[in-house]
Amino acid sequence: MDKFYTVDICGKKADLPILNIAEGVNIAFFNLHGAQALTEHCAKHLAERISDAEVVITAESKGLQLAHCIARNLGQDYYAVARKSKKLYMQDGIESEVRSITTAGTQKLYLSAHDEELLRGKKVAIVDDVISTGGSLSGLEKLVELSGGQVAYKAFVLAEGAAKDRPDVIYLATIPLL
């Protein structure tokens, strides 16, 4: 890759490779997988903004380590994970449909009965790496609603494109659709 977009996330710079995801649509690809220092940095700054959340939820897979670090910063023993496929231990859970800019077609998110119970009656923070179209967010909101939780926060490291104009989300920095 020879083209990058540099973003400043609360004083920490990251060079994001520019990737083509559809005809005429390029994104600055943000990936926390394996980026321990960047993940810790982002989690610290997001946790400060959602300090009274009682539980955190994310969708696999790019939000996993972020949710883990945020939950730890908030002193929470558990966080909920919406899976993209139904695992054996999830037969009694719930599901929601999503459409994401980085995933072709419609997919489902699944939540185990354990995580459903974890959300029930709680102030929930939905966290993830990037918000763009809001498709994944809608699926997570539906799972929180079905669980009987209350969405208190929608927190992201980056807001992409028009997502930066949404008054209902928290984010640390913005990136353009290219």
pTM: 0.90
In this predicted structure, what is the pLDDT of residue 45? Answer: 98
Q: Is the pLDDT of residue 65 over 90?
A: yes
Mean of pLDDT values over 148-173: 97
Mean of pLDDT values over 112-138: 94
DSSP per-residue letters across 17-74: EEEEEETTEEEE----TT-HHHHHHHHHHHHHHTTT-SEEEEETTTTHHHHHHHHHHT
What is the rounded average pLDDT for all residues in the chain?
90
Q: Is the pLDDT of residue 100 over 70?
A: no
Tokens 């321990």 belong to: 36
Report which of residues 18 and 106 the model is more confident about.
18
Architecture of domain 35-172: 3-Layer(aba) Sandwich (3.40)
Q: Is the pLDDT of residue 6 over 90?
A: yes
Segments making up each domain of the chain, as ranges = 35-172
In this predicted structure, what is the pLDDT of residue 117? Answer: 95
Supply angle C-alpha 122, 32, 60, rounded to 5.
50
Residue 102: pLDDT band (50, 70, 90) is low
Tokens 């993830």 belong to: 128
Tens digit of pLDDT for each residue in 135-150?
889 999 999 999 999 9
Give the rounded percent of residues in the chain with a pLDDT score beyond 70: 92
Q: Is the pLDDT of residue 41 over 60?
A: yes
